[in-house]
Amino acid sequence: MKQLPNLITLLNLVFGCLAIVCILQPGENIAYLDENSALLINLPAKLAWGSVFVGCAALVDFLDGFVARLLRLHSPVGRELDSLADVVTFGVAPGMILYQLLRMSYLRVPSAFDTPVIAFLPALLVPCASAYRLARFNVSTNQDKHFVGVPTPAAGLFIASLPLIVFFRQFHLSPWIIDYWTLYGIILLTSYLMISPFAFLSLKFRSASIKENWPAFLLGLVAVVGAVVLHWVAVPVVFGVYVLLSLTLGPRTGGSAAGA
């Protein structure tokens, strides 16, 4: 029973590894020529499955913390293991998603096959920012109502939603997402938010009071309504609302808050 939270955390890591396998070995071409010799961009189904595995890992990540609190089985090993799993699942896997999306975006330019590898390497900023953020969290001593920097699972889920939006062709957003300028912007934004000194809401329920927990209830409402109306586009919307709420309601300086 003592190791139950750690075993659940390892399941998070397994899902993260499965996501990486699907992302890097999609088993399909990411572009092909139609009957008129026009180049068409194809997002492989396995890349979308990689995003699904990241989502499954997020559920497991929530579960291990819940079980640890329920059974009062917190431990230094569990804390370290959780961060190590998170950096793979919500750092490396989203970074590989961005790497593949950048490859797809450059196929639209005339000199696509001459694109240097360095054009795709900015995607590695995401796992680096994730690792730095989690390391900073592990040495923090204040874990009150706020995080320092956007939590890595939130940033990872935001990035993981992009292939699903493209795969299901939602709201004609594919050309905007598979654009290297858009992707570079997403890389810089999410990386900066993770390592930023700004305070972000933890959204942990400390009571049943709606007044005390209204940001969490509001985000839950946005998520439910968004899932019905916007489908996978709801994920970036919820992420954006969370960031805006945090920057509006959080302390003016994030230096005294704790990360997670």
Question: pLDDT of the chain along its 260 residues, tens only?
Answer: 677 888 999 999 999 999 999 999 988 877 766 666 566 778 999 999 999 999 999 999 988 877 777 777 777 888 899 999 999 999 999 999 999 999 999 988 878 778 899 999 999 999 999 999 999 988 887 756 688 999 999 999 999 999 999 999 999 999 999 999 999 999 999 999 999 999 999 877 665 667 777 888 899 999 999 999 999 999 999 999 999 999 998 765 544 444 44
* Of the candidates 166, 152, 33, the residue with the CA atom closest to the CA atom of residue 101: 166
How confident is the model at residue 92, as a pLDDT?
98
In the chain, domain spans: 4-249
Query: In this structure, what are the phi and psi dihedrals at residue 32, rounded to the nearest 5 degrees?
Result: -155, 165
End-to-end CA distance of the chain: 25
Q: Return the C-alpha torsion angle 87, 132, 144, 221, nearest 10.
A: -50
Per-residue pLDDT, 218 = 92
CA dihedral 150, 156, 158, 164 (to 10 degrees): 180
pLDDT of residue 257: 43
31: three-class secondary structure by DSSP: strand
Residue 32 backbone class (left: φ over 0; alpha: ψ -120 to 50; beta: rest): beta
pTM of the predicted model over 0.75: yes
> Could you name the CATH architecture of 4-249?
Up-down Bundle (1.20)
Structure confidence at residue 23 (pLDDT): 97
Please, what's the b/e burial string for 176-193 (b: 16 or more CB within 10 A of its CB; e: otherwise)?
Answer: ebbbbebbbebbeebbeb
